[in-house]
Structure 1
Amino acid sequence: MEQNLLENYIKEIRTIDLAKANIFSLLLFIPIILVYGLPFYLIWGELDFIGVFVESFRENPLFPIAVVIVLLAGIVVHELIHGVTFALFAKHGFKSIKFGILLKMLTPYCHCKEPLRVRQYIVGAIMPAIILGVLPAFIAIFTGNVFLLIFAIFFTGAAAGDFMIINLIWKEDKDTMVLDHPSEAGCFIFKKI
């Protein structure tokens, strides 16, 4: 399909620096904590993340292991959400989806091997932040579950690279096609001639 695209489209590369994405992720935690934490605090009157963790460690020595398992599972689910969403839009479904790890930054990835329309790609890129970040934050705010709030904060911040890639393409015309870069964090865009 790429050969057909090259005949009618101009190809451009759009990538992000993973080191910058990691820094952006850390900086992103400040507004995320404010956006999620302020309503939580106003409703429930407390927001003692450290105290909750210290108390949990005291009560259950296996708590740190549970935290690591939940975080690792969440990272896997984050990539699976990308894969499922991209597969819904891809002509060849899951046959077009590949999972792996960029070893130089120890960053897991989901790669869609066929081009998608720009809006489809954006939906696939944003879904983990919505499913693992925004939705758990709303549930945490309404239920008072501080652990779910921490999970939501972490996995919204973990989507920093996704936000950066979306920022590279969101102003593109609806007819623009996007193809994941096979070895870098980013994509190729194909603009109609």
Structure 2
Amino acid sequence: MRVSEEPVKVIDLDLQKVARQGLWLTVVVTAGLLLADAVIRLLLRQEYMFSVTVWKVLGVVGGYFVLIVVHELFHLVGFRLFAHVPWRKMIVGVNLKLGIAYATTDEWMTNKAIRKALLLPFWTTGVIPALAGLCLSDGALLTLGGLLIGGAAGDFAMYQELRHCPDEWLVKDDPERPRLYLHERVE
């Protein structure tokens, strides 16, 4: 496979902007989920009780850190499922200097494949806990869902940039920064 020597486009996220968007998204989604749960219980004429305990807070904090790791692991699953990247070519870690967890590979992926891999953790670690929280009327799960949906702000930002590019363009992930390099195939 041959690709253009120079990238056609470089997507470089502004981490401060993404952090602000993520915080805003987290607050709005979490409040919306808690409100939706209250309305559902009211419509079903079920008792609704909101309570916060130390154990619930510790559960949410612990669950959040676990789900951040799972979020990144689902990026790797997406790389494997959608881009057929070998497991040995994938890396997951934390960049303490930037304050971010990451999943990366040095393999080429198509734009179409990486877009799917970017959104997979949103569904698995954000939407599923939120839906489970609504079904069980569990504030901790609702809060975790909101936190992880908001935590996908960087993935949404990358996805938004990628969706305007052709599916067949090839993408190379930067191993140190939230940056993608897009190249065209050369026949």
TM-score w.r.t. length of structure 1:
0.83
Cα-Cα RMSD? 2.3
* Amino acid corresponding to residue 120 of structure 1 in structure 2: A
User: Residue by residue, what CA displacement relative to the aligned partner does 1:133-165 show, whole Å, maximum 9, x if unpaired?
Assistant: 112212222221221111100110111111111
> Aligned residue for 1:5?
3
Seen in structure 2, the aligned counterparts of structure 1 residues 23 and 11 have a Cα distance that, compared at 3 Å, is same
Among 139, 142, 155, the alignment partner of 2:148 is: 155
* Amino acid corresponding to residue 156 of structure 1 in structure 2: I
Give the 4+ runs in structure 1 shifted more than 4 A.
none
> Aligned residue for 2:65?
72
What is the deviation of 1:92?
4.2
Segment drifting more, 138-147 vs 31-40: 31-40
- Please show how residues 99-110 of structure 1 align to structure 2 within 5 Å: 99-110=92-103
Q: Distance in 2 between matches of 1:42 and 1:21?
A: 31
Seen in structure 2, the aligned counterparts of structure 1 residues 91 and 149 have a Cα distance that, compared at 3 Å, is closer
> Aligned residue for 1:139?
132
TM-score w.r.t. length of structure 2:
0.85
Segment drifting more, 33-42 vs 153-162: 33-42
> Aligned residue for 1:52?
51
Q: Select the structure that is richer in helix.
A: 1
Q: Distance in 2 between matches of 1:117 and 1:47?
A: 47
Q: Distance in 2 between matches of 1:47 and 1:153?
A: 19
Percent identity at matched positions? 25
What is the deviation of 1:130?
0.5
What is the deviation of 1:112?
2.0
Size of the aligned set, in residue pairs, is 182
Structure 1: 5+ residue stretches without partners: none
Q: Distance in 1 between matches of 2:35 and 2:57?
A: 26
